[in-house]
Every structure is written in C-alpha cells, then in structure tokens.
A and B are shown apart, each in its own frame.
Chain A
Amino acid sequence: MTTSPADIAVIGAGPAGLAAAAAARGRGARVALLDSAGRPGGQYWRHRDGHNPIPASLRQDILAGHAVWHVEVEADGFVLHTTAGEVRARTVIVATGAYDRQLPFPGWTLPGVFTAGGAQAMLKGHGVPVGDRVVVAGTGPFLLPVAAALRHRVTGVFEAGSPLGFARHPLAVARNPGKLVEGARYLRALHGHRIPFHTRTAVVAAHGDDRVHAVTVARLDRNRRPVSEREIECDAVAVGYGFTPQLELPLQLGCDTRLDADGSLVATADEWQRASVPGVYLAGEVCGVGGAQLSVVEGAIAGAHAAGARPRRSLLRKRAALRAFAAAMHDTYRVGAGRPADDTIVCRCEEVTVREVRESVVDLGATDPRGVKLLARPGMGLCQGRVCGYATACLVAEACGRPVTAADLRGLAARPIAAPVTLGNLAEGVEDA
C-alpha cells in the first residue's frame, strides 16, 4: 500500500507524538500519525472505556496498528516501512517513547515479577491488578502513581533512592510547583491507603518456584551496599529503575546520540527539536527522559517548527523549566549498576548469567558489550537487548574497570529491524525494486 506522501510523519501517538501532530496540523501540514498499537495514547494515556484524549481534528490522521520497522532516507524524504505497509513523508518526527529500565536481581525472571510500567498497563489498560500483595520497587517518581493506582493491594513501596535529594535543587523545584503538588498528592494517597514508603531500600532477591511468593529487601548504605536484609511475603512485584528511550529509529537514521544524566542513551536534539539528520525531528523521551508534560511541550515545538512555523516563546520557557526538573530528578534518583550475584540471570531471553558476562571480559578478553554479546549471547534473544542492554553495558564496563560510554549502549541498542516482522512484511515492496 503506497499513498501520496504526507508532509510530516509522526511516529508514536503518545503525549509527544499527539502534541507534535496537533501542532503541525494546526499550521496546515498534512500529517500521518503512526502507532504500533491499535489505539493512540501511548503508554501514558490509556483509555479503556469511552474517555478519549485524542483531539477530533487528529482522528483522521491516525494510522493505528502501523509498527514502523525501518525508515529509509530518500532524496526528497523518507519511506517508513511498517507492518501495515509503506508510508512516505517529507519530514519525520520520532516520538517513540521509552520503557522501564531494569537492574537484574536473583529471581527477577520468576512469573509474578513485572515491570512497574507493566503493572500499570495491566491495571489501567485492562483493569487487572497484577496481584493482591504487591511489592513496588526500584527508583524514581513513577513508582508513586503505580502504587497509588494499586491502592490497598500494595504491601510496600521500596525506593532505592530518596526524594529528599530534590532539596539539592531548590530552583528546579521552584520553577515547577505543579510537580511538587503532584508528588505530595501521591504520598498522601499512599498514606491514606496505609502503604509504607521506604527510601534507600531495594528488592535484592525474589523467591519462589513457579511464581514469586516473597522478596528479600535490604536497606542500602551510602555506597548503595545492601545492609540489614529482611524477607517480605508477596504475590507480585512491580519494579523499575527509570526508563530506557526507544532509539531504534534514530539509530537507523544515523542520528547523533549521547549519554544523558540518568545514564540512558538519548538522541541529540537542537533548540527546535531537530535531530542531527536533516528532515528528522525528535520529541519526548527519545531525546531525554522527562515525563509526559515535557514530552507534550517538545512535541508542540517539533510539530510547529516542522510545519514551517516559529514555536511560541512560552513553549521554549516551559521546556527549559521542565528540563531543569528532569535534571534534578535524574540527580535525585541516580541508578547504579547494582551488584548482582554471579548466578543472577542478566539476559532473560538467552538466560545468560552475570558470571558469563564477567567471564567474557576477564577470561576471554572482550572490551565492550558488542564483544560480550558475540561471546556469551546477552541481547541476542527475542527482545534483542531491550531489557538487558543497560545492565549488560554496566556489568561489562565494571568488569573492564571503566565507566559506561554512549558507544557501549549504542552497541546494544542498534537494531536494523525495529519491530517484529513477518516474511510477508519483508517481501512487500520487493516487486517495486
């Protein structure tokens, strides 16, 4: 299926993509808004019943069920190869978002252990709580809405960092009073449901045979070493250590990337949200994890500029304030590599252990995650390193005695095919060749 090219193709219909599409359309551009899911909204806006945040003006532009698996650069624009056919556009705005970042611990592969975002998706998207005694753990402000939504089903929230770290950033907080109110509202909700909120505490192991029935939590000392462990019974765990931006398409396009303050690989955007590749814009978590509000602002800037208009100054001011808050957040909720025991599984797909990763460096001489991937197979399985990429990079760098670099993360994030495709998808378009 090939239709006439759009002016602008927006990839991802979450907060950033919807804002970008609305801004571009508002300035007269012909927009195609693509999303892999059957409904727009992304991971943030999940609307099961009736409630729909999508502006009516955009509905005709939405191409749902279009998972973009490759973007090709042509002389006068781009060809987007999707699971539902090709889409052509002169300009592309990448707004593919992010997913939960994980740090492996013994037992994290047990059924009943979920990502924090997965627990939220099950509850808000499908009306199903992941358990009746849920341990919420990891780091970052996202743990709060997850726990608040599960309410009385939460046994406790175990935050590896401490929100008190925001005290080091009074200006960033003062510029975003709404964030403070939001945080306080969630903490009040936890208090109302009598959910204990522990700081500087982490889940260090999950226990069970064919499903999780308990976790070991540990207080962390100043060097993040576990002290004073105890076991807690539970029937589910929701865990996340921040987010990993979904960078397949920017990397395919050859966009410049950098290591952000939270340790994530992100694509580099200029003041108008342009990537380093002409005709490509970036909005939302792909250019730095900062939450839905920041994503909306970046999307509005990208959409307006891509449509040939000058984005409003107020948007640029808002972006600056929200980015200052994101920087304070990353500093407050720093994520270390963790120190998982040797027999902990790192790569869930290929069942590769910490020991095998370390041995690839120490005994076999690998010097980067790509080398370790070829020797021990972490990141070679079904998810293609999406889940274990960050942890593998951290473990390899640690074994090499150096910090993680952007190149380490790039090596595990580059995927020539960004979404699962059938042979039929690949065969499509061959007749044109």
Chain B
Amino acid sequence: MTTFSFDGEEVTAEPGQSVGAALLAAGYRSWRTTRHGGAPRGLFCGIGVCFDCLVVVNGRPGLRACLTEVRDGDVVSSQEGAGRDHLAC
C-alpha cells in the first residue's frame, strides 16, 4: 500500500493508482475550485482531456490528478483557482 496526505489527512492508495483514483476511492469528490465562480470540481473525464481535476502535489500546482501517479509520502492539497495566486499582482 502507498500512503500520502491530502489536505493534512492520511490517505492510502494501491500501487500504480493515480492521485485522482485514490482520492475518489477515499470518498473525496472535489479538490479544486474554479477561478471565476469558486465552484467545486474533481474528476470528470478521467483521462487527461478536461483539466477539471487539477491538484497540487508536493507544492506543484496544476497537475491533472487523473494522470499523476501517486507516490508514497506525497503531500497533496486542494487547488484554488489557477493555484498560483502568489504570482498575481
């Protein structure tokens, strides 16, 4: 089993699972809010086409949770908007 954290909570995954699949299995449905409406989003297409499931992994924002393979000890967190608000001026 692989273990990672999501917004501070410990989550387990099977080896080879994507971050998105592991979060889905753990009962999470959303981990991003939209830039304009602040609406919750999670997995939609599941194959890297829609970019709805963006997530922050080990400090790197904008990763597609459906395509990003989870690794033991990963620190995963929700993404707000573009996930780069610190760059906004």
Residues of B close to A382: CB separation below 8 A: 51, 54
B45 touches A126 (CB 8 A): no
Q: Give, as a whole number of angstroms, the nearest-CB distance from A201 to chain B.
A: 22
Partner of B45, one of A99, A112, A350, A351: A99
- Interface assignment of A309: CB less than 8 Å from any CB of chain B: no
A108 to B89 CA separation, bound complex (whole angstroms)? 33
Instruction: Assess A210 versus B21: contact at CB under 8 Å? Given A115-B46, A122-B46, A351-B36.
Output: no
Total A residues in contact with B, Cβ cutoff 8 Å: 34
Residues of B close to A112: CB separation below 8 A: 29, 42
Chain A residue, CB-CB nearest to B14: A127
A 209-239 binary contact with B (CB < 8 Å = 1; else 0): 0110000000000000000000000000000
A99 touches B29 (CB 8 A): no
A48 touches B16 (CB 8 A): yes
Chain A residue, CB-CB nearest to B38: A351
A332 to B28 CA separation, bound complex (whole angstroms)? 37
Q: Give, as a whole number of angstroms, the nearest-CB distance from B10 to chain A.
A: 18
Partner of B51, one of A37, A113, A122, A383: A383
A118 touches B30 (CB 8 A): no
User: 7 more A-B contacts (CB under 8 A) besides A118-B47, A122-B46, A386-B50?
Assistant: A111-B40, A113-B44, A117-B46, A121-B66, A127-B17, A128-B22, A351-B37
Q: Give, as a whole number of angstroms, the nearest-CB distance from A205 to chain B.
A: 16
A 378-397 binary contact with B (CB < 8 Å = 1; else 0): 00011100110000000000
Which of chain B's residues 30-80 have a Cβ closer than 8 Å to chain A?
30, 34, 36-37, 39-52, 54, 66-67, 69
6 closest A-B pairs by beta carbon, nearest first, are: A118-B46, A126-B21, A382-B51, A111-B29, A111-B30, A121-B46
A387 touches B50 (CB 8 A): yes
A346 to B13 CA separation, bound complex (whole angstroms)? 34
Q: Give, as a whole number of angstroms, the nearest-CB distance from B38 to chain A.
A: 10
Total B residues in contact with A, Cβ cutoff 8 Å: 32
- Interface assignment of A130: CB less than 8 Å from any CB of chain B: yes
A68 to B20 CA separation, bound complex (whole angstroms)? 23
List residues of chain A with CB under 8 Å of any chain B CB.
36-38, 43, 48, 99-100, 109, 111-115, 117-119, 121-122, 125-128, 130, 210-211, 348-351, 381-383, 386-387
Instruction: Assess A348 versus B44: contact at CB under 8 Å? Given A126-B21, A210-B30, A387-B50.
Output: yes
B46 touches A211 (CB 8 A): no
Chain B residue, CB-CB nearest to A36: B48
A210 touches B29 (CB 8 A): yes
Q: Give, as a whole number of angstroms, the nearest-CB distance from A46 to chain B.
A: 10
A48 to B16 CA separation, bound complex (whole angstroms)? 8
A211 touches B39 (CB 8 A): no
Residues of A close to B34: CB separation below 8 A: 351
A23 to B67 CA separation, bound complex (whole angstroms)? 29
Residues of A close to B51: CB separation below 8 A: 349, 381-383
Chain A residue, CB-CB nearest to B34: A351
Residues of A close to B67: CB separation below 8 A: 37
Partner of B21, one of A109, A125, A351, A386: A125
Q: Give, as a whole number of angstroms, the nearest-CB distance from A129 to chain B.
A: 9
Instruction: Assess A114 versus B43: contact at CB under 8 Å? Given A126-B18, A351-B34.
Output: yes
5 cross-chain CB contacts under 8 A: A48-B16, A118-B43, A126-B16, A127-B14, A386-B50
Partner of A351, one of B29, B39, B40, B49: B39
